[in-house]
Structure 1
Amino acid sequence: MNVVVIGGGPAGLYFSLLLKQHHPEDHIVVHERNEAGATYGWGVVFSDIALSFLQDADPAFFKKFTAHHQRCDHMEVIHRGVAVPLRGNHFSRTSRIDLLRVLQDACTEAGVEIRYGSRVNDPAELPEADLIVAADGINSEVRTRLAEHFQPSFEVRRNKFAWYGTHQLFHPVSLIFRETEYGVFIAHSYQYSDEHSTFLVEVDPDTWQRAGLDTATEEESRAFCEKVFADDLGGHALLGNRSNWFQASVVQNAHWSHGKVVLLGDALRSVHFSLGSGTRMAMQDAIALCDAVCSHRDDVPAAFRAFEDSRRDASAKFQDAARRSLDWYESVDRKMHLDPIAFAYDYMLRTGRVTHEDLRERDPEFITRVEAAGNAA
């Protein structure tokens, strides 16, 4: 097969690698608009569940992929300056640039051709392709061009976000809630290398405006957030990298494919980062698409139908969980009266996918504290 992948993010690269491993005779080209080595953002985080899928799909790649990951077996919810540990939540973290480097190297070694600085946004320019994978991100140009066929929908959520990094090392995945004179500020933070942590700041639009961040420059916003979280940062600065404020957008598509074009990754469906599952979903989708293509080598439309049938239900469930999580964060000001234990308990139950008994199995000590305080649901 002659396969063209538009977009060199985790979804597009991982699909290319898997398909090339299964069918070395296929000619696979990845078009990546950025130059080699260019990436934006800081770290990415995987749960142990996410990693198990990758290990099952390709043990050799999994070993390379996780070689330099930072691991922890718990997370912390920090409310009123009190850190509540939540055991039994296993996470593995790495830098986004290292994630892409490992995928790029594996693809090149397998024989996938990656063309950097190559911007393709019209499948009509690729008449020689038997199959085209549009993995060009949440603002997919391919999806926009073929919108009448994919029928995408977009839900822009209300809270504001800014991505930062820091040299302060947050070993456990840490969720920090700080009350200020303007309102509540939230930080999603985790160590992803020996020297850096991701530090994602979240704030509701009213607080954001009251604090003057609606008119602040990128540098002024960074300095303001650094002051809000000064106690947590321990004297370390926040580091910027295109750290402009943005709002989360939930993307769905009524149809996942059209003709010989199929959507993948954030171009197909976004999962909010409050669940830490976006990259996981993208790479699971890549596994499913590869399986479908391998099972229907002579019938691309049948491969696309098999892919959608295998993944649409999981996609819908994750997006529903993401909405519940977003709802919780967007109304967190109504939770701030809770004591730290009750607050952490409420957080863990926010999506409806984790029960009281699930928490008892994961962290008996935490549930003992919840029940002793009379906070159990």
Structure 2
Amino acid sequence: MKIDVVGGGPAGMYFSMLMKKHDPGHRIRIFEQNPMDATYGWGVVFSDVALSFLEKADPVFYKKFIAGHERCDYMEIVHKGVHVQLKNNHFSRASRINLLKTLREECLAQGVEFEFGTRIDNAGKLDGADVIVAADGGNSAIRTQFAQHFQPTIETRRNKFAWYGTRQLFHPVSLIFRETEHGVFMAHSYQYSKELSTFLVEVDPETWRRAGLDTMTDEESRRYCESVFAPELGSNGLLSNRSIWFNANVVSNAKWSHGNIVLLGDALRSVHFSLGSGTRMAMQDAIALQEAFTRNGSNVQAAFADFEGQRRDSSSNFQEAAAKSLDWYENIGEKMGLDPVSFAYDYMRRTGRVSHDDLRERDPDFVASYEAIAAA
């Protein structure tokens, strides 16, 4: 088959690689609007559950994929200056740039073609393709072109975010909550290489305006956030890389395919980064789409229906969990009076997917501490 993939992110490249490995006879082209050497982004996080899917799909590539990852088997919640450790929360972290480089090299080794610096905003430019995979992100131009059919829903959430990096190394995934005179600031931080950590700052819009961040330059915002989190950053500051403030959009679609076009990754469905599962879901979608073609051959419509049948429920369930997680962060002011252990417990239970018994099995010492405080 002739397959054109719009978007050179994890979803589009991983699907292309798997399809080409399964059948080298496919002609697969990836169109990416950014240059090949684009250096946007900091790190990405994978849980052990996410990695197990990738290992099962392609064990050989999996070994290349995890080489150089930073790993840790616990996380920390920092509240009132107290670091609460939560054991048996396994995370693997990698540079987004290296992740894309590894995928690109494997695609090229399999014979996938690339056209960088090429924006496809009209599917008509891809005349002759048997399949068009729209993996062009949350603002997908292909999805917009056929919005009447896909019927996307895009919900803009209220909190403000800015992606930074830092040379301060946060070995565990660390969630830092800091009360200031203007309101509560939050940071999602984790080491993803030997030298760098991601540092995502989150704040509600009222606090953002009271602090004057709505009128600050990018450099002034960076320095302000440095001052808020100075106790954790130590002598290291924040590093900017297109680190402008933004609101998170939650994307879903009533229909997943149209004619010979199928949505994939963030174009199909976004999972908020408070769950750390966006890249995981995108790559699981890629696995499911490739497997659907394996089962249905060149019957494109059957493959699309198979793909949606496999992934629709899990997609909805994850988005439901993400919505609860977002609600927790957006109402953080109600939680700040809790002691550090009870605060961490409330965080772990925020989506309704982790029970008290689940926590006890994962970290009995932490649950014992919480139960002692609750009893008192």
Alignment partner, residue 114 of structure 1: 114
Alpha-carbon deviation of 1:189?
0.1
Please give the alpha-carbon distance, in whole angstroms, between the structure 1 residues aligned to 2:71 and 2:164: 20
Structure 1 stretches (4+) deviating beyond 6 angstroms?
none
Alpha-carbon deviation of 1:297?
1.6
Please give the alpha-carbon distance, in whole angstroms, between the structure 2 residues aligned to 1:118 and 1:338: 51
Q: 1:28 to 1:227 in 2, by over 3 A?
A: same
Sequence identity (%): 65
Alignment partner, residue 198 of structure 1: 198
Segment drifting more, 79-88 vs 292-301: 292-301
Alignment partner, residue 148 of structure 2: 148
Aligned runs of 1:31-110 on 2, under 5 Å? 31-110=31-110
Alignment partner, residue 261 of structure 1: 261
Q: Report if the CA contact (8 A) 1:342-1:375 is conserved.
A: no
1:225-261, CA deviations, whole angstroms, 9 ceiling, x for partnerless residues?
A: 0000000001101000000000011000000000000
Please give the alpha-carbon distance, in whole angstroms, between the structure 2 residues aligned to 1:35 and 1:88: 39
Alignment partner, residue 340 of structure 1: 340
Alpha-carbon deviation of 1:117?
1.0
Please give the alpha-carbon distance, in whole angstroms, between the structure 1 residues aligned to 2:142 and 2:349: 37
Alignment partner, residue 130 of structure 1: 130
Please give the alpha-carbon distance, in whole angstroms, between the structure 1 residues aligned to 2:52 and 2:148: 37
1:42-69, CA deviations, whole angstroms, 9 ceiling, x for partnerless residues?
A: 0000000000000000001100000000
Please give the alpha-carbon distance, in whole angstroms, between the structure 1 residues aligned to 2:125 and 2:183: 50
Give the 3-state SS of the residue equivalent to 2:83 in structure 1: strand
Please give the alpha-carbon distance, in whole angstroms, between the structure 2 residues aligned to 1:9 and 1:298: 25
- TM-score norm. by structure 1 comes to 0.99
Please give the alpha-carbon distance, in whole angstroms, between the structure 1 residues aligned to 2:375 and 2:173: 24
Alignment partner, residue 307 of structure 1: 307
- TM-score norm. by structure 2 comes to 0.99
1:137-159, CA deviations, whole angstroms, 9 ceiling, x for partnerless residues?
A: 01101111110110101110000
Alpha-carbon deviation of 1:375?
6.5
1:145-186, CA deviations, whole angstroms, 9 ceiling, x for partnerless residues?
A: 110110101110000000000000000000000000000000
Please give the alpha-carbon distance, in whole angstroms, between the structure 1 residues aligned to 2:41 and 2:258: 31
Q: Report if the CA contact (8 A) 1:182-1:211 is conserved.
A: yes
Aligned runs of 1:277-316 on 2, under 5 Å? 277-316=277-316
Give the 3-state SS of the residue equivalent to 2:35 in structure 1: coil
Corresponding letter in the other structure for 1:232: E
Alignment partner, residue 362 of structure 2: 362
Alignment partner, residue 26 of structure 1: 26
Q: Report if the CA contact (8 A) 1:149-1:258 is conserved.
A: yes
Q: Report if the CA contact (8 A) 1:17-1:107 is conserved.
A: yes
Alpha-carbon deviation of 1:39?
3.2
Corresponding letter in the other structure for 2:261: V
Alignment partner, residue 4 of structure 1: 4
Corresponding letter in the other structure for 1:347: Y
Alignment partner, residue 165 of structure 1: 165
Please give the alpha-carbon distance, in whole angstroms, between the structure 1 residues aligned to 2:111 and 2:63: 20
Structure 2: 5+ residue runs without aligned partners? none
Corresponding letter in the other structure for 1:254: A
Corresponding letter in the other structure for 1:310: Q
1:250-290, CA deviations, whole angstroms, 9 ceiling, x for partnerless residues?
A: 00000000000000000000000000000000000000000
Corresponding letter in the other structure for 2:280: R
1:175-213, CA deviations, whole angstroms, 9 ceiling, x for partnerless residues?
A: 000000000000000000000000000000000000000
Q: Answer yes or no: is 1:214 the counterpart of 2:214.
A: yes
Please give the alpha-carbon distance, in whole angstroms, between the structure 1 residues aligned to 2:268 and 2:80: 39
Please give the alpha-carbon distance, in whole angstroms, between the structure 2 residues aligned to 1:93 and 1:71: 6
Corresponding letter in the other structure for 2:214: D
Please give the alpha-carbon distance, in whole angstroms, between the structure 2 residues aligned to 1:86 and 1:280: 22
1:58-88, CA deviations, whole angstroms, 9 ceiling, x for partnerless residues?
A: 0011000000000000000000000000001
Alignment partner, residue 246 of structure 1: 246
Please give the alpha-carbon distance, in whole angstroms, between the structure 1 residues aligned to 2:289 and 2:207: 42
Give the 3-state SS of the residue equivalent to 2:274 in structure 1: helix
Alignment partner, residue 179 of structure 1: 179
Give the 3-state SS of the residue equivalent to 2:286 in structure 1: helix
Alpha-carbon deviation of 1:124?
1.4
Give the 3-state SS of the residue equivalent to 1:281 in structure 2: helix
Corresponding letter in the other structure for 2:158: R
1:266-322, CA deviations, whole angstroms, 9 ceiling, x for partnerless residues?
A: 000000000000000000000000011121123101110000010000000000000
Alignment partner, residue 231 of structure 2: 231
Alpha-carbon deviation of 1:349?
0.1
